[in-house]
């Protein structure tokens, strides 16, 4: 529950981060893009204008139109005329602005002021003017009339003969007029200040109209008066000429499209940019308190991206960069063309470098669909670098890199595989240039192709053969080394591990030899100390035996004397204890010998069930005298094992003796023999007289259930049983359960054993 909650919190944090950043980027990028250029900045301003008539686009368009009308009146060329045939069906803001800019440029340069026009040109301009007027004929968004020497020359309003037309009172609040030298404007009856401080600047904030102190007008236009009124809410005007067979709209409508553009642009800016900006901020607000959980998700993501080759990641990064920077190729073309043009004709290019850069930047920023994926690819890349474990090591380069490897053989191997990949690649890359070179040097096509191919194949073959040979040598040495390891495991500690001088694995082999030597020394040491121990025990028990002989003998002699009552009893005790000491010394001797592996065993096939019956029969007197009952469960059928009968008798005699002496009085001792799988298992169970302390290894020498007990055996009973059982190939387990003392001896059944190996 808790982890689930934490998980959902982390996922929520990450999602809000991703959405927030995406939205923020997709909204901020276009805004930034607009801020880069002047027209963009104007557009931004326009979008925030509530009235189209306050926008730069309106000013630009209306100035343009006014200039055209003045030109019409003055009989000059109409700059807007170039674009008459332009298809306005798809209004496009940038194009429309380009128009305005072009118009202004041409006015600035002022073609007509410097060149004396011919009559033919003048006729052409007249035609253009009439065509222009026809176009405005049906466009009632802008009503105008042009007078020359107080005679109406052009208008799109009802006109009575020679009368000055009058603008309608309603719906056309904006008026603009030209009085031969200056312009005047009023909006809803209020006069507007057109010129400001009277200095014209090409920044879109000024009206591009004559009348500034630095925006003069030539003589020819002084008799021209232009009056125009702009509709408050523009409409689409369509006129179709069915007679000419061209069923196209054939009216100006440019003002309408500008207006529509402005509306659309405003909506898109506000909705797309500002709403998504707000949403993005909101998401970031959600993310911020969960940033720690979010980084967990980052870690999980890095765990996935870890598996990708680093080269692939770099490729993705490169792809992202190319995808984002893609416009560059186009812009680069412009730049080269413009610069070369400027250099050739020694003209100052309008497409100057800073302009190019800003337009290029705008180009990038205005394409969030390219920037966003690139951003997220970068994000994943950085995330991978941050949380991944050395991600650059995972990949082709990482595989070929030998830096992390320590041993010279490792370095050599990795260098070999790196070269075996790089050489073919190099050969492939070299093929074409060499082939081309030979071809240009006059070698025949066929000959150079075959020649280069053959040479490269030969080179590759030689390289691969050399590697194959080295690898074969390494494989052989590896095999030798592995064989040596197996031999050492199997106990061969004397044959030294030696590989040829130049072998990659020579050092490892030498180290193996060292290990071998160390082991053989340790084994020798152990054997020696084991032998010393046995010798010590033998000597000690020998030294014990001689005085013990005297004790036993003299105790016996004392026994034969007729002694006064208590002395006789004392001698009996002496005799008993001397006898016990004798058994103990013999036991110690035997156990130490068995522990050192010097106990001779005579293995033969025997019937374990019979052996147990014989043992109990042999011990009949002891069993009868014990204060417990022996319950036997022995199978009638022979249970054949391979063992040393004398030793096994000692094992079970000891175990039974133990059980009988340590069992609770009046309880039962159970002796059973069962076949479990391929084993014969003898178990002896008795209820202990005393509490069994836990965690005692009863097969250790000199261990008894109760450490404080001084009566009974030597403490070697179980140790003898254990060593003898093992000498016979069996296994003795002591598993006390509460007060139940359970000893089981398990022996493999002889039918499962290859008898040849057991004869020793």
Partner 1 sequence: MSETILVVDDDREIVGAIALLLEAEGFRVLRAYDGLEALELALDPELRLIIMDVMMPRLDGLSAVLRIRERRNLPILVLSAKSEDSDKVLGLSMGADDYVSKPFHPQELVARVKSHLRRYTRLGDVNAAQGSHFVTGRLSYDPERRTLFADGEPVKLTATETKIVDLLMRNLGRIFPAEEIYRRVWEEETTYAPENTVMVHIRRIREKIELEPREPEYLKVVWGIGYKMEKK
- Within 30-49, the residues that bind partner 1 by CB under 8 A are none
Question: End-to-end distance of the chain based on CA atoms, in angstroms?
Answer: 68
Q: Which of 208, 648, 718, 732 binds partner 1 (CB under 8 A)?
A: 648
As measured in angstroms, the least distance from the Cβ of 628 to partner 1 is: 18
DSSP character at residue 403: T
Mark 617-636 with x for binding to partner 1 (rule: CB under 8 A) and - for no binding: xx-x-------------x-x
- Within 458-487, the residues that bind partner 1 by CB under 8 A are none
- Judged by CB under 8 A, which stretch of 309-317, 340-348, 644-652, 717-725 contacts partner 1? 644-652
Element (H, E) at 224: strand 224-230
Element (H, E) at 679: strand 679-687
391 or 717: CB nearest partner 1: 717
364 or 611: CB nearest partner 1: 611
206 or 650: CB nearest partner 1: 650
305 contacts 21 by C-beta, under 8 angstroms: no
As measured in angstroms, the least distance from the Cβ of 516 to partner 1 is: 35
585 binds partner 1 (CB under 8 A): yes
* Residue 555 to residues 341, 550, 552, 582, 624, Cα–Cα distance (Å): 136, 8, 5, 13, 29
Q: What are phi and psi of 503, to 5 degrees?
A: -70, 145
Q: Which of 586, 601, 664, 742 binds partner 1 (CB under 8 A)?
A: 586
Q: Comparing C-alpha atoms, which of 643, 672, 678, 667 is closest to residue 742? A: 672
Number of residues that bind partner 1 (CB under 8 A): 39
Q: Which of 27, 46, 383, 616 binds partner 1 (CB under 8 A)?
A: 616
- Within 540-569, the residues that bind partner 1 by CB under 8 A are 542, 545-546, 548-554, 556-557, 560
As measured in angstroms, the least distance from the Cβ of 557 to partner 1 is: 5
**Angle 310-325/368-387 helices, nearest 10 degrees?**
150
Residues 618 and 648: their CA atoms lie apart, in Å, by 13
As measured in angstroms, the least distance from the Cβ of 480 to partner 1 is: 44
Which residues are within 8 A (CB) of 434 and not within 5 positions of it... i.e. 6 or more apart? Answer: 452
614 binds partner 1 (CB under 8 A): yes
As measured in angstroms, the least distance from the Cβ of 652 to partner 1 is: 9
Element (H, E) at 146: strand 142-148
Rg (alpha carbons) of the chain, rounded to whole number = 56
613 binds partner 1 (CB under 8 A): yes
Tokens 């009046």 locate to: 666
533 binds partner 1 (CB under 8 A): no
As measured in angstroms, the least distance from the Cβ of 552 to partner 1 is: 5
Paired tokens of 183: 């312009």
378 or 585: CB nearest partner 1: 585
184 or 607: CB nearest partner 1: 607
CB contact burial 63-73 (16+ within 10 A = b; e otherwise): bbbbbbbbbbb
Which residues are within 8 A (CB) of 29 and not within 5 positions of it... i.e. 6 or more apart? Answer: 365, 366, 368, 371
- Judged by CB under 8 A, which stretch of 197-205, 404-412, 604-612, 684-692 contacts partner 1? 604-612
440 binds partner 1 (CB under 8 A): no
525 or 598: CB nearest partner 1: 598
Q: Comparing C-alpha atoms, which of 263, 366, 300 is closest to residue 6? A: 300
433 or 638: CB nearest partner 1: 638
As measured in angstroms, the least distance from the Cβ of 477 to partner 1 is: 49
As measured in angstroms, the least distance from the Cβ of 530 to partner 1 is: 17
Instruction: List, as own/partner pairs, every contact residues 308-312 make where C-beta atoms lie below 8 angstroms and the sequence separation is at least 24, other chains included.
Output: 308/394, 309/394, 309/395, 309/396, 310/391, 310/392, 310/393, 310/394, 310/395, 310/397, 310/398, 311/395, 311/396, 311/397, 312/395
Q: What are phi and psi of 552, to 5 degrees?
A: -60, -45
129 or 626: CB nearest partner 1: 626
CB contact burial 255-292 (16+ within 10 A = b; e otherwise): bbbbbebbeebbeebeeebeebbebbeebbebbeebee
* Residue 554 to residues 542, 564, 571, 573, Cα–Cα distance (Å): 19, 17, 10, 13
What proportions of the chain, in percent to the nearest 5, are helix, strand and coil?
60, 10, 30
370 binds partner 1 (CB under 8 A): no
Q: Which of 182, 393, 470, 582 binds partner 1 (CB under 8 A)?
A: 582
Q: Which of 643, 659, 673, 727 binds partner 1 (CB under 8 A)?
A: 643
23 or 578: CB nearest partner 1: 578
* Residue 719 to residues 8, 318, 697, 715, 738, Cα–Cα distance (Å): 63, 76, 10, 8, 22
As measured in angstroms, the least distance from the Cβ of 751 to partner 1 is: 15
As measured in angstroms, the least distance from the Cβ of 646 to partner 1 is: 6
As measured in angstroms, the least distance from the Cβ of 607 to partner 1 is: 5
292 or 542: CB nearest partner 1: 542
645 binds partner 1 (CB under 8 A): yes
As measured in angstroms, the least distance from the Cβ of 532 to partner 1 is: 18
Tokens 């147990």 locate to: 612
226 contacts 69 by C-beta, under 8 angstroms: yes
724 binds partner 1 (CB under 8 A): no
As measured in angstroms, the least distance from the Cβ of 743 to partner 1 is: 19
As measured in angstroms, the least distance from the Cβ of 704 to partner 1 is: 24
Paired tokens of 268: 């898109």
As measured in angstroms, the least distance from the Cβ of 513 to partner 1 is: 39
Q: Which of 356, 392, 467, 649 binds partner 1 (CB under 8 A)?
A: 649
710 binds partner 1 (CB under 8 A): no
306 binds partner 1 (CB under 8 A): no
- Within 166-195, the residues that bind partner 1 by CB under 8 A are none
675 binds partner 1 (CB under 8 A): no
239 binds partner 1 (CB under 8 A): no
689 binds partner 1 (CB under 8 A): no
As measured in angstroms, the least distance from the Cβ of 713 to partner 1 is: 17
CA–CA–CA angle 363, 364, 369 (5° rounding): 115
119 binds partner 1 (CB under 8 A): no
As measured in angstroms, the least distance from the Cβ of 591 to partner 1 is: 14
Q: Which of 371, 606, 682, 720 binds partner 1 (CB under 8 A)?
A: 606
536 binds partner 1 (CB under 8 A): no
DSSP helix/strand/coil, 579: helix
Phi-psi region of 188 (alpha: psi -120 to 50; beta: other; left: phi over 0): left
Binding-site ranges for partner 1 (CB under 8 A): 542, 545-546, 548-554, 556-557, 560, 578, 582, 585-586, 589, 600, 604, 606-608, 610-611, 613-618, 620, 634, 636, 643, 645-646, 648-649
């Amino acid at each position: 529950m808790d982890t689930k909650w934490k998980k959902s919190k982390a996922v929520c944090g990450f999602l809000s981060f991703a959405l927030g950043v995406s939205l923020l980027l997709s909204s901020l990028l276009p805004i930034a893009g607009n801020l880069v250029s002047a027209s963009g900045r104007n557009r931004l301003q326009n979008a925030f204008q509530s009235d189209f008539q306050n926008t730069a686009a309106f000013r630009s368009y209306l100035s343009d139109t006014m200039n055209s009308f003045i030109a019409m009146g003055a009989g000059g060329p109409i700059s807007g005329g170039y674009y008459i045939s332009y298809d306005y069906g798809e209004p496009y803001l940038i194009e429309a602005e380009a128009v305005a800019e072009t118009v202004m440029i041409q006015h600035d340069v002022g073609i007509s002021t410097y060149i004396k026009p011919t009559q033919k040109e003048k006729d052409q301009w007249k035609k253009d003017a009439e065509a222009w007027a026809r176009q405005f004929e049906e466009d009632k968004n802008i009503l105008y009339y042009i007078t020359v020497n107080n005679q109406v020359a052009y208008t799109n309003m009802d006109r009575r003969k020679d009368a000055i037309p009058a603008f309608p009172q309603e719906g056309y609040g904006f008026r603009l007029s030209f009085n031969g030298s200056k312009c005047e404007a009023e909006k809803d009856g209020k006069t507007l200040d057109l010129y400001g401080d009277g200095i014209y600047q090409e920044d879109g904030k000024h009206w591009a109209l004559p009348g500034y102190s630095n925006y003069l007008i030539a003589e020819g236009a002084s008799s021209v008066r232009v009056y125009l009124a702009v509709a408050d809410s523009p409409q689409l005007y369509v006129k179709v000429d069915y007679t000419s067979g061209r069923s196209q709209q054939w009216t100006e409508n440019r003002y309408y499209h500008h207006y529509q553009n402005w509306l659309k642009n405003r909506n898109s800016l506000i909705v797309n940019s500002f709403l998504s900006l707000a949403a993005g901020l909101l998401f970031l607000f959600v993310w911020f308190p969960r940033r720690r959980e979010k980084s967990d998700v980052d870690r999980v993501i890095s765990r996935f991206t870890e598996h990708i080759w680093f080269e692939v990641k770099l490729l993705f990064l490169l792809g992202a960069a190319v995808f984002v920077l893609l416009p560059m190729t186009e812009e680069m073309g412009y730049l080269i063309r413009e610069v070369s043009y400027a250099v050739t004709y020694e003209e100052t290019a309008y497409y100057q470098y800073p302009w190019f850069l800003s337009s290029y930047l705008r180009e990038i920023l205005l394409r969030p669909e390219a920037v966003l994926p690139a951003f997220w690819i970068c994000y994943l890349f950085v995330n991978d670098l941050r949380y991944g474990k050395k991600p650059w090591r995972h990949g082709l380069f990482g595989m070929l890199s030998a830096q992390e490897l320590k041993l010279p053989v490792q370095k050599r191997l990795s260098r070999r595989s790196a070269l075996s990949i790089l050489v073919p690649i190099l050969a492939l890359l070299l093929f074409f240039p060499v082939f081309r070179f030979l071809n240009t040097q006059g070698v025949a096509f066929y000959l150079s192709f075959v020649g280069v191919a053959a040479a490269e194949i030969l080179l590759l073959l030689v390289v691969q053969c050399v590697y194959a040979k080295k690898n074969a040598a390494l494989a052989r040495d590896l095999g030798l080394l592995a064989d040596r390891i197996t031999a050492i495991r199997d106990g061969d500690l004397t044959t030294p591990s030696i590989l040829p001088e130049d072998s990659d694995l020579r050092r490892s082999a030498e180290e193996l030899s060292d290990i071998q030597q160390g082991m053989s020394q340790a084994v020798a040491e152990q054997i020696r100390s084991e032998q010393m121990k046995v010798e010590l025990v033998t000597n000690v028990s020998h030294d014990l035996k001689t005085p013990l002989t005297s004790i036993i003998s003299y105790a016996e002699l004392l026994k034969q004397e007729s002694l006064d009552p208590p002395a006789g009893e004392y001698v009996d005790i002496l005799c008993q204890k001397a006898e016990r000491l004798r058994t103990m010394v013999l036991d110690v001797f035997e156990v130490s010998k068995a522990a050192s592996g010097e106990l001779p065993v005579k293995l033969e096939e025997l019937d374990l069930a019979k052996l147990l019956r014989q043992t109990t029969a042999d011990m009949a007197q002891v069993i009868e005298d014990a204060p417990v009952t022996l319950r036997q469960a022995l199978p009638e059928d022979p249970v054949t094992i391979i063992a040393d009968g004398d030793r096994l008798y000692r094992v079970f005699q000891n175990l039974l003796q133990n059980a009988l002496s340590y069992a609770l009085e009046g309880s039962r001792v159970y002796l059973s023999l069962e076949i479990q799988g391929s084993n014969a298992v003898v178990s002896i169970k008795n209820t202990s007289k005393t509490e069994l302390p836990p965690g005692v290894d009863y097969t250790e020498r000199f261990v008894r259930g109760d450490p404080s007990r001084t009566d009974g055996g030597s403490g070697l009973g179980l140790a003898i049983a254990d060593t003898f059982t093992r000498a016979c190939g069996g296994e003795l387990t002591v598993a006390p359960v509460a007060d139940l003392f359970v000893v089981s001896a398990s022996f493999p059944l002889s039918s499962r054993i290859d008898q040849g190996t057991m004869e020793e």
